[in-house]
Amino acid sequence: MQILISATFIGVSYLLYSGKLVRVDFILTVLKAPYAVWLDKILELVALVVLAVLCYYATEWILRPEIKVDVSPTTQLPRWYNYAVLVVSFYFMSWHQFVKVICPTKIAQGEAPL
């Protein structure tokens, strides 16, 4: 189960990086171009703030003493090893969103600007 959850979080991070994350953008398609661009940037900033807050709380959570001593009953390994994958995925998602906010879309996806 942990592998499935970890793969999901890593996959979402990759989709955010590649710009292929599923979006509901019917409002953006209805708006005129300049307003749609501004709204899109505002939504990207909101997503970055949400991810930063998630990173903060996830890091705070994984560093708690009761989480560090929690051991898996089957493998006898500390569970924070598994939890760390999720926290690192949050940091990667935050980084990818940060790059998306500061760089134009074509540059962020590896295409040369005109």
Residue 30 token pair: 């209805």
Banded model confidence at residue 108, pLDDT cuts 50, 70, 90: very low
Tell me how far CA of residue 14 lies from CA of 8, 55, 75, 81, 87, in angstroms. Answer: 10, 17, 29, 21, 15
Q: Convert the pLDDT of each residue in 84-102 to its tens digit.
A: 888 998 999 999 899 888 8
Rounded to whole angstroms, the Cα distance separating 64 from 80 reads 10
Give the mean pLDDT of 40-58.
93
Q: Convert the pLDDT of each residue in 50-85 to its tens digit.
A: 999 999 999 999 999 998 888 888 888 888 888 888
Task: Give domain limits for the chain.
Answer: 26-108
pTM for this model (two decimals): 0.76
Rounded to whole angstroms, the Cα distance separating 30 from 49 reads 26
